[in-house]
Amino acid sequence: MPKISRRASQTPSSKIRRVFNKSLGHDDWVKFTVGEPDFDTDQTIIEAAYQAALMGNTHYVHNAGIFPLRQQLAKKFYEDQHLTVNPETELMVTNGGTEAIYLALQAIVEPGDEVIMPGPQWTPYPMLTTLNHGKAVICKVHEKDGFQYTEENLRRSITPNSRILILNSPCNPTGGMAGRSTLEMVAKVAKEFDLWVLSDEVYEKLVYDGNEHISIASLPEMKERTIIINSFSKSYAMTGWRVGFMMAPAALMQVMVKLHELETSCCNVPAQYAALAALNMDQVVTGRMLEQYAKRREILVKGLNRISGVSCVPPKGTFYAFANVKELGVPSDELVERMMDEVGLAVVPGTAFGEDGEGFLRFSFAVSEKTIEEGLERFETFVKSLRQ
Ligand SMILES: Cc1ncc(COP(=O)(O)O)c(C=O)c1O
């Protein structure tokens, strides 16, 4: 057979998929694996896509996305973060946040450039970095620091080759959020070492206990070195529609629009109209989803903390609980395999998010309260069996 690229074929497949695939066909298992809302997309949004298609919006559009959507996004940035963003030159609609991250790395990274990211981190960051000829530099973050960068560990990760610093707040998998003081520290370091900040804000709307999402781009002199990644996937239960968006300085955006044209031309057009409807509709719909997540979070976190040998810091944002299982004394991967085989419970090992995730399990609470209660029972039974 002719050759396949080594770089591509050696990219590991994600452990989340492995657990997910193993759980397929086991309808009696309790599953906390997938990182997507269990709600259906709101009817208003679906109707808007249908109407757009009926009205003939089925052709290629501007590579950066339909202008009314970019205008609405600019308004959103202003209302949410007091950011003044030019919809003509600084915004682009992408095929999900994932493509936006890919484009940013492709546009910035030269071979050997280093991309700093937290450990544990969302699984694709290191893989996308390597695919774009960069080197992933993992900066370990700790539970005691709310899984946030500290100035000390961040400075230790910097070398003359550092080019991009990834910030993910609220964070998948840890549920941690960067407060103003952390953001100020990150901003200071980014300016000192002339780094780009790739700020992944896809969970910005899923925050609890009155926590406030602050974009680092809103800090003084940060907009000019920040790329904001965002998406309709999580905020509006629109994972399958594949609509994301990004904000970046015009000079960088111009390059990314060009790459986006080569890769996908533009984001699916009826889906862009659906996204526009999502922004324009009564936001009470997202508020209702958030209320549900908040209830589930409470049940899950309380339940986990009741199990001897398990502890869980309440996540400030996202729909993930990152449970510390170090006291159980069994590696996360082994725990996950045995839980599936012995009690039919599927969760994601912390190691799916890099080696710094060892000793943790990620539970997604984008599942019903009943599923959470049943899962907690199975987890407790399993943990007790370990002690016998
Ligand atoms: C941290 C983070 N960033 C980005 C994404 C990408 O989401 P999408 O491509 O669906 O917009 C995800 C999805 O799980 C995520 O967890």
The answer to whether the beta carbons of residues 119 and 280 sit under 8 Å apart is no
Which atom of ligand 1 is nearest the CA belonging to 243? 11
Helix (H, G, I), strand (E, B) or coil at 99: helix
Q: Which atom from ligand 1 is nearest to the alpha carbon of 35?
A: 14
What CA–CA distance (Å, rounded) separates 300 from 315? 11
Q: Can you list the pairs that 153-162 forms with residues at least 24 positions away whose Cβ atoms lie under 8 Å?
A: 154/116, 154/185, 154/186, 154/189, 155/189, 157/116, 158/116, 158/189, 158/193, 158/195, 159/114, 161/112, 161/113, 161/114, 161/135, 162/113, 162/114, 162/116, 162/137, 162/193, 162/195
Q: Does residue 224 contact residue 254 with C-beta atoms inside 8 Å?
A: no
Under DSSP, the state recorded for 231 is: E
pLDDT at 71: 98
**Which range among 6-15, 41-50, 128-137, 364-373 shows the weakest confidence by mean pLDDT?**
6-15
Quickly count: other Cβ atoms within 10 Å of residue 231's Cβ: 28
Q: Is the CB of 317 under 6 A from ligand 1?
A: no
- Predicted confidence (pLDDT) at residue 10 exceeds the cutoff of 90: no
Q: What is the full DSSP assignment across 14-70?
A: PHHHHHHHHHTT-TTSEE----S-SSPPPHHHHHHHHHHHHTT--S---TT--HHHH
Q: 176: Cβ below 6 Å to ligand 1?
A: no
Residue 119 near residue 354, CB atoms below 8 Å? yes
Instruction: Please say if the pLDDT value at position 36 is more than 90.
Output: no
The dihedral region occupied by 363, where left means phi > 0, alpha psi between -120 and 50, and beta the remainder, is beta
pLDDT per residue over 54-65, tens digit each?
999 999 999 999
Q: Is 172 in the pocket of ligand 1 (CB under 6 A)?
A: yes
What ligand 1 atom has the least distance to the C-alpha of 100? 9
Query: What DSSP state is assigned to residue 330?
Result: S
pLDDT at 20: 87
Domains present along the chain, CATH in parentheses:
6-41+284-386 (3.90.1150.10), 46-280 (3.40.640.10)
SS3 143: helix
Write out the two tokens for 299.
């049940």
* Percentage with pLDDT > 90 across the chain: 93
Mutational pocket test of ligand 1: of 20, 206, 229, 233, the residue with most ligand atoms within 8 Å of the beta carbon: 233
Task: Find, among 71, 108, 72, the residue nearest to 87 by Cα.
Answer: 71
3-state secondary structure of 192: helix
Dist. CA 199–CA 102, nearest whole Å: 13
- Whole-number Å distance, alpha carbon 239 to ligand 1 midpoint, is 9
Which whole number is the average pLDDT over 235-254? Answer: 97
Nearest C-alpha neighbor of 83 from the set 253, 245, 218, 246: 218
With CA atoms as reference, report the closest residue to 32 among 346, 316, 351, 378: 346
232 lines ligand 1 (CB under 6 A): no
